[in-house]
Structure 1
Amino acid sequence: MGRPTTKTDLINAATINYDNMNVLISKLTETELSTPFDFSEDEKKTEAHWKRDKNLRDILIHLYEWHQLLLTWIQANENGENKSFIPEPYNWKTYGDMNVEFWRKHQSTSLEQAGELLKKTHKDVLSLAETFSNEELFSKGVYKWVGGSTLGSYFVSATASHYEWAMKKMKAHMKNCKK
């Protein structure tokens, strides 16, 4: 399936990828869950997140925090507050530092708590998406605060695309554990 461009496709892709991610999580062995993520041997994995996330909790918290970004950004702007998606002091050039801060913030969060937080925000994000029309989600220029993109593209990025990222990372970890 390509990147969603309609409300129906967005809801379906987010739901399917979330469900697929949870199926993959359910297949993780005790060894895979207890072995720290380590991708240092793979010279192709150079992005910061390959070093940042050390376990499943870190991935789930990352997804949760990006849901929170989306939810608070939309709520603030709909209430007339001019708020950027990436909160100050961060921006699109420094959001990696923000991700590290999310990671630090949740080092004492349990895997179970992370799963519950993500489950709730996934539902909240899909419920919020349902409140918008197809045009509001996927037509440019509907909301000045979205900039040159569409609101739907933010929903896709925070859900379906991010869930694909999480599954790719989990599969790479699973493969490493079999070596």
Structure 2
Amino acid sequence: MSVVTARLDKLFRHTGAALVALLFTAAALAGEPKFSDYPSHPINNHLKAIDWQSDPDANYFQSRLRDHLGEAPNFAGDQVLSYWGCGASCQMVGMVNAKSGRVTIARELIAANGFCYQADSRLLVVNPLWSPDEEGGDYFFKTAFYLWDGHQFKLLAKTAPRFVACDDSSERAANSGP
């Protein structure tokens, strides 16, 4: 192998590896779940009653859930989502179906940096960064994307902490609650 061929081979290996890494990063970002990927159709019902028997832990969060009586769905079309603090840098989420009153306490969704959600989407983002300027920091949490299928949350993706655009039609839940 000539010196020129060896240098070209070395250059290709380094730039080729960087190019492959760049392509994988771009593909991962392009594949990141978006609110518009999981649409729902908000209903006009307001939360009128809560079925306290529908979730074994519903009674523990009566005051937080009861605060939402009379509200329109703010998540996944028919859910009234609520959140509350569960300690330092800890938030939990629960919701009530505005039609049936069925309570779901999402015990598996514990956040350190809040939640982002929309009335017209079934996507729930756990631990989003609230500004693009925050990206690249040293965080102890990951940003996770969950899909509500009408019965339970399913993990779609988990990434390094990432900015998620929660626009004017979005809800932002951070710290210990509203």
Q: TM-score with structure 1 length normalisation?
A: 0.28
Task: Name the structure with the higher helix share.
Answer: 1
Task: Name the structure with the higher strand share.
Answer: 2
Q: TM-score with structure 2 length normalisation?
A: 0.28
- The structure with more radius of gyration: 2
Q: Which has the higher contact order (CA 8 A, sep 6+)?
A: 1
